[in-house]
Amino acid sequence: MTVRVMLVSPATSAALREARFGGDGPLDEAGARHARAAAGAPARADRFLSGPSRRCRETAAELGAGAAVAEVLEELGDWDMGSWRGRRLDEVGVSEPEAVSAWLTDPAAAPHGGESLLALCERVGGWLQSLPDDAGRVLAVTEPAVARAAVVHALALPAEAFWRLDVEPLTLTELSGRAGRWNLRCGRPLGGESG
């Protein structure tokens, strides 16, 4: 049986606009408005999931429009950025340029003390692999890094391909198939928000 995994990236927040690592704040006014406008846009799902971040949970609530409550899964949590959590990329780039360079070029590096890119892809891939063949249609609101890691794992791409994938706010990345054989459809906007 084919499993369909629909990964929706959350709406915008101040932390996203500021390029903060793991900034877990609420949706901003524009993000909440765009998420409400997209309510009902995702396809029907047998299981409705959310990553644990506040913006994922708030986006899931807006998309469900009160009709469905998303189950929060820790496995769908954002990339653990350790000591960089909450800091802006430009700030870390100035204070720790060698560490940022290592992070961007070595998938095994975790100079921040959190997860390496390889560990993120392994965690998200483990979740994908754990879905039973009869899982049906799974809709999950996840941070962009989780969607990117899912694509890397599903398509057996080299980890470095992660950096070449963009996931915009309120877009749908779809994987269909089953463990070991996935097809990809990515970047369909929900409700028209593009950034």
Residues 62 and 132: their CA atoms lie apart, in Å, by 28
pTM (two decimals):
0.90
**Helix ranges restricted to H, 24-157:** 29-37, 54-64, 89-95, 97-105, 117-130, 144-154
Residues 50 and 132: their CA atoms lie apart, in Å, by 18
**Percentage of the chain surpassing pLDDT 70?**
90
Q: Distances in Å between the alpha carbon of 169 and those of 39, 131, 153, 158?
A: 14, 25, 21, 24
pLDDT band at residue 2 using 50, 70 and 90 as cut-offs: confident
Residues 3, 133 contacting (CB under 8 angstroms): yes
Q: Which domains are delineated in the chain?
A: 3-189 (3.40.50.1240)
pLDDT tens-place string over residues 129-168: 999 989 999 999 999 999 999 999 999 999 999 999 999 9
pLDDT tens-place string over residues 86-131: 999 999 999 999 999 999 999 999 999 999 999 999 999 999 999 9
Residues 121 and 147: their CA atoms lie apart, in Å, by 10
Whole-number pLDDT of residue 114: 95
138-170 b/e with 16+ CB inside 10 Å = b? Answer: bbbbbbbbbbbbbbbbbeeeebeebeebebebb
Candidates 23, 88, 97; CA nearest to 56 is 23
